[in-house]
Structure 1
Amino acid sequence: MQDHMIGGRYALRREIGHGGMGVVWEAFDQMLRRTVAIKLMAAGDVASDEAQRRFAKEAMTIARVRHEHIVQVHDYGIDQGSPYIVMELLEGEDLESRLARVHQLPPAAVLSLLRQISAGLDAASAAGIVHCDLKPANIFLARSAYGESVKILDFGIGWTLHEGSDDPSVDRYSTRFGTPAYMSPEQVRGAVPHPLTDLWSLGVIVYRALTGQLPFPTGDVRKVIVSICTDPFPTPSSLDVAHPPELDRFFERALAKDRSRRFQSARELASAFAAICDAETRPAKILIVDDEPDVQLLLQLHFRKRTGRAAYELVFANNGQLALDALERHPDIDVVVTDLNMPVMDGLALLERIPEVNPLARTVIVSAYGDMTNIRRAMNRGAFDFLFKPINFEDLEATLAKTLRHVEEHRRKARSNEENDLLRKFTSAALIERLRSLGPAGAAASEALEATVAVVDVNRFTRVAKERPPAEATRVLNANFEVIVPELLAQGGVIDKFIGDAVMAVFHGPDHLDRALHACLSVRAQMETIAKRAGDDSPYAHGVCIGLSTGNVLAAGVGSHACGQLGYTVLGEAVNAAAHLARAALPGEILVDDAVCAGARREIKLEPAGARGVWPRAEPTAVYRVVRSEPAPRSLAELPTVEV
């Protein structure tokens, strides 16, 4: 195909790469007289309407985000029935090739890459785009006259958030199957794509770059899927004693199987990693924001004389906007010392923006004696302290020392919160919620609630427990719970207890029945998806049996003071009915009773399931099974506007 003309404009020169959806060529744009990269759809996919739709969607997805760390699209078209995408031409290598060559990267190099990837991901997330296949092969290290720059490539299986719906059916999301070693637990289950999925993949990339190996073993895809959803990963400090324990805690968050426990933005993840890299060696970093040139000179001269007493690294900016840029470049800044009155962006406006960029940094306001009104406004908006002009250097040093102690204390509290999160794993979520609302003295109090109870039972696990070694049987059960529990929590359910091989969740508050039904449908859909992917011999092949009931329940603290053990749980007919319905259900069934049937919304499709022996020593009872959920019809006002 060399010298072949595409779209009457682009002359192909040489093939430079290929991927799952096409081949990439270097080409010459004869209209603008420049060299470009052009991606052609794979010949075998041209006849597929679905493949053409996805190819066009990739071009539109990338074109929505204009960012220095995302490859830019110049043009899109169709040549003789075959689509093509024209992109900027990059010189360099992808991260996969570099890691194959050097095996590991030093923390400073990883941090440089991480900051750039994070900036690109945050831009994509702000545009409502999830990459869904972030991996080293899709991270390009582009060389230029100004050094090396990261470019994120290949949004071919990307997802835009407006594609989501309330329909948890299997087919809608299960096609987003990326590269298994870098996929998050929710992605391998076929859950709705979410930006935190990309952050998991980024965590895997950082782990591999630092340690030289993947956190979960490669090889058999089915085993990888089970391991991602179930197993812990080797801590970096166990692989190399040079890695500090703080890195272990970093990856506990970055690779948390429950996405709500992960870093909630790429910027937050990069900032946490930067703090670890610099914690033991760097001096405290202070950002000085002032438009008076004399201030910068005076502070530099003063601290140059006092380096023996205070090791500060100073960064300067002339106004609030430049200060935000500096915070982006230096996520490890501890303290911001800012003047109030500046052009472009003043100190008050900057103060409100700082937590968005660096939530750990603390701000000290500098102003004239007569500007007490603005100082009060600044303190009300979160300033930690203030100084007056002309600056007294002793006062400045004392204020910086006090502020830095506060910053360190804040970081210690953050680490304590991580430790508390670990303790919460062994405590009932319902009890924690109760203690928060009423305090310890009210934990044993009782109250009546209108609630829906769901019991999800792992089918035929009793036989597994008899036939397999204890450790293996436990892993099988926990593998199922790692799929089930996140979906119950995502709809606002509270995990009340684990009863043998079943989990019981309680939903209360607004729309509790509707949320419980959607949670159970999502559990079933994801269990079916992961069972297909992991195979008949996987832990997920057993399927789940689900029972659901709704009505009044009694929430109370029960137990014995004599042995010092109390538990907070729910009691009542709905609890018993849900448990018995789960026992009566066949694999893959969601059985409900008359109360659920009467209260369910119209989009929930139910059908009679005949008479089942639900209650012990009682006549069979008529029950219903949940078939599916139909998306709720939307009004014309809610339909998206499409530009033509």
Structure 2
Amino acid sequence: MSNRTIARKYTLRREIGRGGMGVIWEAFDQALRRPVALKVMTPEHVTSDAARRRFEREAMAIARLRNEHIIQIHDYGIDEDCPYIVMELLEGEDLEDRLVRERRLSPPAALALLRQIALGLQAASAAGIVHRDLKPANVFLARKEPGECVKLLDFGVVCTDFESDDDPQGSAGKVIGTPSYMSPEQVRAVVPNHLSDLWSLAVIIYRALTGRLPFAASGVGELLISICTDPFPPPSSLVPGLLPGFDRFFERALAKDPAQRFPSARELVAAFAAVIEASRGPAKILIVDDEPDAALMMKMLFRQKIRDRTYEFIFADNGEVALHELRRHPDIDVIVTDINMPVMDGLTFLGRVPEVSPFARTVMMSAYGDMRNIRSAMNQGAFDFLLKPIQRADLEVTIDKTIKHVAELRRNARSDEENKILRQFASAALVERIREMGASIALASEAVMATVVFIDVFQFTPVARERLPGEAMRLLRANFEVIVPELVAQGGVVDKFLGDAVMTVFQGPDHLSRALGACVAVRAQMAAVARRAGEGSPYTQGICIGLSTGQVLSGSVGSQAYGRLDYTVLGEVVNAASHLARASRPGEILVDAAVREAAQQLFDVEEVGARSLLPGAAPVSVFNVVRRSPAVVLADGEPTVGIKSTSTM
């Protein structure tokens, strides 16, 4: 195919790579007399309308992104019914080749790559674009002056917020992305967001530091279970001398629950950099002032505290340099900055600080006559202000006060992390009630309207008998890792796990419709994951669902004297949901006549006949929720009446 001319303009020279849907060639642009990279769709994809639309979407997505860390698009077209994309030609190697050659990178080298990858992902996220296939082979290390420039490649399975996916992930049990780098939500067939790309980025950095993947298995099915269920080896256990702080970093970066991960690429980079900076020593203070003697004055005023390692000062003569120092030192506590400076003034710098350092607090300095600017700074979030000429006593009191405030912020952040751990082992409803009202009020009982859902893994007991205890529990958790996220996403509170069943309570506005939507979504996701993992996986057992709605008694039960209490809901609704789940067959969402009546305008419900809900009890009519009613779904795919789900059947 070499020497072929595309669109009478681009002459193919040599094949240089392959992507998911195309072959990449080095080509020569005859019009502009320059070498380019040209991606031509492979023959097996040309006949697929969905593949052609995805290929075009890749070109549109990258064309929207004007960022030096994302490969640039020059042209797009169709030649002899074959789509093509023309891109900048890069020289260098991809990260996969480098990791194969070097196996491991030092933390500073990994940080240098991480910063640039994060900038590319930030630009994509800001444009509403999710890569979905971030891996070392799609991270190119281009040789540039004065050094390497990271470029993100192959947006062939990109997901955007401005165009729907014609072949939704999981529609046919198809894996979109590279399994080893897929997030748990991709495994569950949920349409991913930028947090999924951050998971993939964390896997890349884990491999760069340790030389191995955090989740590895012999087959795809086992790998998908491991991603959703298993812990990963702490990096410090794999590489002697690696700081334990990296273990804590990856605990958050690779959290199964997206809500527990770093919310942005910027924060992920800052946390990684903070580990490299090692354990916290003296309080770090950044002085930003263009006066030539500012550094000398601070060193003289606080020479004893510097000598005692109570304070460590960092200096910058304008806001732009200060931002650079903040990125280098993400553990800075206090910033003392002048307002009037060249290049970037203090007010502009103040607005940029939260982007780089969420904990640092800023103290503004200015002359008495500049009170208008000081007032503006306080309105923008400055912690305090100082008037020039600076008095040592005033400066020291202000710095100490600010350091204590920042320390409190850090303690609160750690407390939030501890509460997340507490929620793993206690009722989320109880944790929130104690936080909001105190322990004594949390013990009170009340009658509330709610919908209760029981989801049972079908016939898991025989599976447990055939497995070792640890393996049986792991396979059960694999099911719950798919079931629970959608229940929580729709506002459900997981009340308890009862053997191989999970009980969830929905309260508040539209609790019935939210519960039904969550059940439909869980059923669809379990079916998609079962198709992907294949026969013999724990997902092929199927799930049985029962749902009931009405008034429940909410409160604490147990023995307060012996310190064993459980916050739960009781009543006929709970019993009915449990019995319906027990009578359900795999794939059914069983409800009673009252639920069918309440939900018939929102969901398609069919009668499945009479079932006995209790041994020896007379059979009663029950109904199966088939799907969300098409009548309540708008043209853009968003359901009406406040129902919103990440997946439907």
TM-score by length of 2: 0.91
User: Equivalent residue of 2:561, what SS?
Assistant: coil
Q: Are the equivalent residues in 2 in contact too, given 1:71–1:87 (CA < 8 A)? A: yes
Letter in 2 for 1:478: R
Displacement of 1:145 in angstroms is: 1.7
Aligned position for 1:494:
493
User: Equivalent residue of 1:114, what SS?
Assistant: helix
Displacement of 1:444 in angstroms is: 1.4
Aligned position for 1:447:
446
Task: Measure the CA separation in 2 of the matches of 1:313 and 1:95.
Answer: 37
The answer to which of 130-139 and 467-476 deviates more is: 467-476
Letter in 2 for 1:123: A
Letter in 1 for 2:582: R
Task: Measure the CA separation in 1 of the matches of 2:637 and 2:614.
Answer: 48
The answer to which of 62-71 and 379-388 deviates more is: 379-388
Aligned position for 1:572:
571
Letter in 2 for 1:561: Q
Q: Are the equivalent residues in 1 in contact too, given 2:332–2:360 (CA < 8 A)? A: yes
Aligned position for 2:13:
13
Aligned position for 1:362:
361
Aligned position for 1:128:
128
Q: Is 1:42 equivalent to 2:42 in the alignment?
A: yes
After TM superposition, list the pairs within 5 Å mapping 1:66-81 onto structure 2.
Answer: 66-81=66-81
Q: Is 1:598 equivalent to 2:597 in the alignment?
A: yes
Aligned position for 2:420:
421
Q: Are the equivalent residues in 2 in contact too, given 1:173–1:190 (CA < 8 A)? A: no
Task: Measure the CA separation in 2 of the matches of 1:350 and 1:176.
Answer: 45
After TM superposition, list the pairs within 5 Å mapping 1:403-422 onto structure 2.
Answer: 403-404=402-403, 406-422=405-421
Task: Measure the CA separation in 2 of the matches of 1:638 and 1:488.
Answer: 18
Letter in 2 for 1:500: G
Letter in 2 for 1:91: E
Give the 3 Å change call, closer, same or farther, for CA 395–176 of structure 1 in structure 2: farther
Task: Measure the CA separation in 2 of the matches of 1:229 and 1:440.
Answer: 34
Aligned position for 1:473:
472
Q: Is 1:299 equivalent to 2:294 in the alignment?
A: yes
Displacement of 1:394 in angstroms is: 6.6
Displacement of 1:199 in angstroms is: 0.9
Give the 3 Å change call, closer, same or farther, for CA 401–560 of structure 1 in structure 2: closer
After TM superposition, list the pairs within 5 Å mapping 1:94-493 onto structure 2.
Answer: 94-163=94-163, 171-172=170-171, 175=174, 177-280=176-279, 286-290=285-289, 293=290, 295=291, 297-302=292-297, 306=303, 308=307, 312=312, 314-316=314-316, 318-319=318-319, 327=326, 331-341=330-340, 347-348=346-347, 350-372=349-371, 374-375=373-374, 378-379=377-378, 381-392=380-391, 396=395, 399-400=398-399, 403-404=402-403, 406-493=405-492
Q: Are the equivalent residues in 1 in contact too, given 2:513–2:602 (CA < 8 A)? A: no
Letter in 2 for 1:26: E
TM-score by length of 1: 0.91
User: Equivalent residue of 1:550, what SS?
Assistant: strand
User: Equivalent residue of 1:97, what SS?
Assistant: helix
Q: Are the equivalent residues in 1 in contact too, given 2:140–2:153 (CA < 8 A)? A: yes
Identity between Structure 1 and Structure 2 (%)? 61
User: Equivalent residue of 1:36, what SS?
Assistant: strand
After TM superposition, list the pairs within 5 Å mapping 1:578-589 onto structure 2.
Answer: 578-589=577-588
Task: Measure the CA separation in 1 of the matches of 2:323 and 2:638.
Answer: 36
Displacement of 1:570 in angstroms is: 0.7
Task: Measure the CA separation in 2 of the matches of 1:496 and 1:78.
Answer: 56
Task: Measure the CA separation in 1 of the matches of 2:159 and 2:85.
Answer: 18
Give the 3 Å change call, closer, same or farther, for CA 110–358 of structure 1 in structure 2: same
Displacement of 1:577 in angstroms is: 1.1
Q: Please report the RMSD computed on the Cα atoms of aligned residues, expressed in angstroms.
A: 2.8
Task: Measure the CA separation in 2 of the matches of 1:133 and 1:621.
Answer: 49
Aligned position for 2:643:
none
- Residues 66-93 of structure 1 show CA distances to partners (whole Å, capped at 9, x for unaligned) of 1111111111000111000011111111
Displacement of 1:345 in angstroms is: 6.8
Q: Are the equivalent residues in 2 in contact too, given 1:283–1:313 (CA < 8 A)? A: no
- Residues 223-272 of structure 1 show CA distances to partners (whole Å, capped at 9, x for unaligned) of 11111111111011222341222211111111111111111111111111
Structure 1: give runs of 5+ residues left out of the alignment.
640-644
Task: Measure the CA separation in 1 of the matches of 2:531 and 2:208.
Answer: 31
Task: Measure the CA separation in 1 of the matches of 2:329 and 2:79.
Answer: 46
Displacement of 1:418 in angstroms is: 2.5
Q: Are the equivalent residues in 2 in contact too, given 1:454–1:504 (CA < 8 A)? A: yes
User: Equivalent residue of 1:270, what SS?
Assistant: helix
Displacement of 1:408 in angstroms is: 4.6
Aligned position for 1:55:
55
Give the 3 Å change call, closer, same or farther, for CA 537–584 of structure 1 in structure 2: same
Task: Measure the CA separation in 2 of the matches of 1:204 and 1:589.
Answer: 36
Give the 3 Å change call, closer, same or farther, for CA 324–240 of structure 1 in structure 2: closer
The count of residues paired between Structure 1 and Structure 2 equals: 633
The answer to which of 450-459 and 41-50 deviates more is: 41-50
Displacement of 1:515 in angstroms is: 1.1
Q: Are the equivalent residues in 2 in contact too, given 1:168–1:518 (CA < 8 A)? A: no
Give the 3 Å change call, closer, same or farther, for CA 601–334 of structure 1 in structure 2: farther
Give the 3 Å change call, closer, same or farther, for CA 332–146 of structure 1 in structure 2: farther
User: Equivalent residue of 2:124, what SS?
Assistant: helix
Give the 3 Å change call, closer, same or farther, for CA 636–567 of structure 1 in structure 2: closer
Displacement of 1:32 in angstroms is: 1.7
Q: Are the equivalent residues in 1 in contact too, given 2:475–2:538 (CA < 8 A)? A: yes
Aligned position for 1:523:
522
Task: Measure the CA separation in 1 of the matches of 2:407 and 2:241.
Answer: 23
Letter in 2 for 1:113: L
Displacement of 1:190 in angstroms is: 0.8
Displacement of 1:383 in angstroms is: 2.3
Displacement of 1:96 in angstroms is: 0.5
Task: Measure the CA separation in 2 of the matches of 1:483 and 1:171.
Answer: 14
Q: Are the equivalent residues in 1 in contact too, given 2:173–2:532 (CA < 8 A)? A: no
Structure 2: give runs of 5+ residues left out of the alignment.
640-649
Q: Are the equivalent residues in 2 in contact too, given 1:168–1:522 (CA < 8 A)? A: no
Give the 3 Å change call, closer, same or farther, for CA 331–534 of structure 1 in structure 2: same
Aligned position for 1:556:
555
Give the 3 Å change call, closer, same or farther, for CA 324–603 of structure 1 in structure 2: farther
The answer to which of 104-113 and 29-38 deviates more is: 29-38
User: Equivalent residue of 2:425, what SS?
Assistant: coil
Displacement of 1:13 in angstroms is: 1.5
Displacement of 1:556 in angstroms is: 1.1
User: Equivalent residue of 1:354, what SS?
Assistant: helix
Q: Are the equivalent residues in 1 in contact too, given 2:169–2:175 (CA < 8 A)? A: no
